[in-house]
Amino acid sequence: MSDAVMEPRRSRWIPWVFVGGMLLVVAVNGVLVFASISTFTGVTQGQAYDRGRAYNKVLEEAARQDALGWRGAVVADQGMLRVVVTDREGLPVAGRLDGVIRAPVEGTAIPLALVATAPGRWQATLDLPRTGQWEARLALTGAGGERLDLVQRLVVP
């Protein structure tokens, strides 16, 4: 027998580096999965799949509204929402205007109390919880039952 003493292996730590690296990858992936599940989904349109399947109806509705020839302008300034609707000739369109103002990402909807100030002109006081981007969703029903949908993105200072 030999009197040589066996030295312990100095490379025992190498497999643990790989194990540690894999644990780090799993931990980072876990954090990313949690963040993706617990935050905004990215869906802003309810029932987007069904709406996509019925897109021809959306196109027909857009063509109907274009044939109507009514144009609307929506402006938000100094705490007021102002709406003007005119026909092809630029004449005001009278009717009943209803709608809400929404925060597009959060989905918060606030009903608007729109008051006619003149034929084809309405206004409402804006009492919004915060400044930023909002979306006015309005529906004008004309005297003959015609309907115009207005959707306008607004930046409220």
Q: For 121-149, how does the pLDDT look when each residue is reduced to its tens digit (9 = 90+)?
A: 999 999 888 888 999 999 999 888 899 99
**Of the CATH numbers 1.10.3720.10, 3.40.50.300, 2.70.98.90, 2.60.40.1220, which one belongs to the domain with range 70-156?**
2.60.40.1220
pLDDT number for residue 9? 75
pLDDT at position 79: 87
**Residue with more model confidence, 3 or 88:** 88
Q: pLDDT (tens digit, 9 = 90+) per residue, 86-95? A: 999 999 999 9
Residue 26 scores a pLDDT above 90: yes
Q: What mean pLDDT value characterizes the chain?
A: 89
Highest mean pLDDT among 26-35, 36-45, 122-131: 26-35
What predicted TM-score, i.e. pTM, was given to this entire model? 0.64
The predicted structure's pLDDT at residue 12: 84
Q: Give me the residue spans of the domains in the chain.
A: 70-156
Q: What secondary structure, in 3-state letters, does the chain show?
A: CCCCCCCCCCCCCHHHHHHHHHHHHHHHHHHHHHHHHHCCCCCCCCCHHHHHHCHHHHHHHHHHHHHHCCEEEEEEECCEEEEEEECCCCCECCEEEEEEEECCCCCCEEECCCEEEECCEEEEECCCCCCEEEEEEEEEEECCCCEEEEEEEEEEC
